Amino acid sequence: MYDDSGLAEGDRPHWAAALTGAGDMGFMLYRSVARPGLGRADLEAILNQARRRNAERGLTGCLHHENGLFFQWLEGPRFTLSRLMERLRDDDRHVGVTVIDQGRLDRRLFGDWQMRHSDSATASLLEWLAGSGHSEADGVRSFLETIR
Ligand SMILES: Cc1cc2nc3c(=O)[nH]c(=O)nc-3n(C[C@H](O)[C@H](O)[C@H](O)COP(=O)(O)O)c2cc1C
């Protein structure tokens, strides 16, 4: 099929990606405020639900929880990500969902995780951000690269 296309080698990924969906891979990074009183059991329930649903939807990522804040990195098909963001905004287990960064992604950071969980016992993201001269988006991303 490729040989009949008349396309140069470098042009092929455009429609090959359209067929496989590979070109639609993206990430979404947001911050939110956990509902006051949200406890360990609630967090377990969120992670169990996230892992089950992400496995079905081809999403992977990392949820960092520290000082009543959530930072979540989600990666996978961009359409699926934006659908999930709508659900996340309606979820009353957190408020103030603020997208910090989003875009295309060539390679997943958390391909081995349906949803990695980290907190200040893993490493402090807030201290990392305070000590880095980066923007919030670059700071969170570089932090996640150290814990993945
Ligand atoms: C902090 C937080 C993180 C979440 N992460 C995910 C996630 O990674 N994937 C997911 O499907 N749902 C996640 N959820 C749950 C969604 O908000 C929503 O309840 C769920 O996607 C609904 O799925 P449903 O299609 O079964 O109704 C999260 C919720 C919270 C509060």
The 10s digit of each residue's pLDDT in 15-42 is 444 454 556 999 999 999 999 999 999 9
Residue nearest to atom 13 of ligand 1 (CA): 50
Structural domain includes residue 65: yes
Q: What is the pLDDT of residues 57-95, one digit of tens each?
A: 999 999 999 999 999 999 999 999 999 999 999 999 999
Structural domain includes residue 94: yes
Structural domain includes residue 44: yes
pTM: 0.86
Structural domain includes residue 4: no
Please indicate whether residue 28, judged by its CB atom, sits closer than 6 Å to ligand 1: no
Q: Which residues pair with 65 in a beta bridge?
A: 70, 119
Q: Total domain count for the chain?
A: 1
Structural domain includes residue 137: yes
Structural domain includes residue 103: yes
Among the listed residues 146, 69, 71, 73, the one whose alpha carbon sits nearest the alpha carbon of residue 115: 73
What local confidence, expressed as pLDDT, does residue 132 receive?
87
Give the pLDDT band of residue 147 (cuts 50, 70, 90).
Answer: very high
Please indicate whether residue 148, judged by its CB atom, sits closer than 6 Å to ligand 1: no
Domain encompassing residue 63: 25-147
Q: Tell me the mean pLDDT in the region 50-60.
A: 96
SS3 of the chain: helix, strand, coil, percent, to 5 = 45, 30, 25
Structural domain includes residue 131: yes
Structural domain includes residue 3: no
Give the pLDDT band of residue 138 (cuts 50, 70, 90).
Answer: very high
What local confidence, expressed as pLDDT, does residue 37 receive?
95
What local confidence, expressed as pLDDT, does residue 23 receive?
62
Q: What is the pLDDT of residues 118-133, one digit of tens each?
A: 999 999 999 999 998 8
What local confidence, expressed as pLDDT, does residue 10 receive?
46
Residue nearest to atom 9 of ligand 1 (CA): 50
pLDDT higher at 103 or 14: 103
Distance CA 48, CA 52 (A): 6
- Domain CATH number, residue 136: 3.30.70.100
